[in-house]
Amino acid sequence: KKGCAVDVVMASEGYPGSHSSGEIISGLDEAEKAGCIVFHAGTVKKNGKYVVNGGRVLNVVALAPTLEEAKAKAYEGVSKIHWQGVQYRHDIADKGIRHLKAKE
C-alpha cells in the first residue's frame, strides 16, 4: 500500500514499571469510527467490557496519504479512548515529519 502509517501505544499507569490493571476501557468503537485500527495487547474482556490487563494495553494505528495526516488521525483515535491512568507518548512520528521536511 502507498501512504503512511502511525502507531501510538497506549499504556497503563506505572508502565514500564509496575503497572495498574482492571480499569475499564471506553471509546474503542469511537476510535474505529474515526478511521483507526485498534490492536489489543494488554486487555481482557470481562462482563462484556474490555479492561486493562497489562502494561502496553492498545496500539492505535492510522493510515493516510502523508505522515502528518496519519499522525493527526492516530491521535484523533487516541483521544476517543479512555481509562483511569492511561498514558501515551505525544511525539510519535515527529522525527519522521522533521526528516521529510528537511528533505524538501
pLDDT value of position 20: 87
Considering its fold, how many domains does the chain have in total?
1
pLDDT value of position 51: 98
Specify whether the backbone of 67 is left (phi greater than 0), alpha (psi in -120 to 50) or beta: alpha
pLDDT value of position 18: 87
Within 10 angstroms of residue 96's Cβ, the number of other Cβ atoms is: 15
What's the rounded Cα separation, in Å, for the pair 85 and 95? 26
Cell digits for 101? 521536511
Say what the pTM is. Answer: 0.93
pLDDT along the chain (104 residues), means of 10: 95 91 97 98 97 97 97 98 97 95 86
pLDDT value of position 103: 84
Q: The domain containing residue 88 runs over which residues?
A: 4-103
Considering Cα of 28, then 29, then 32, then 38, what sign does the dihedral take? positive
pLDDT value of position 89: 97
pLDDT value of position 1: 78
Please report, for the domain that includes residue 82, its CATH number: 3.90.600.10
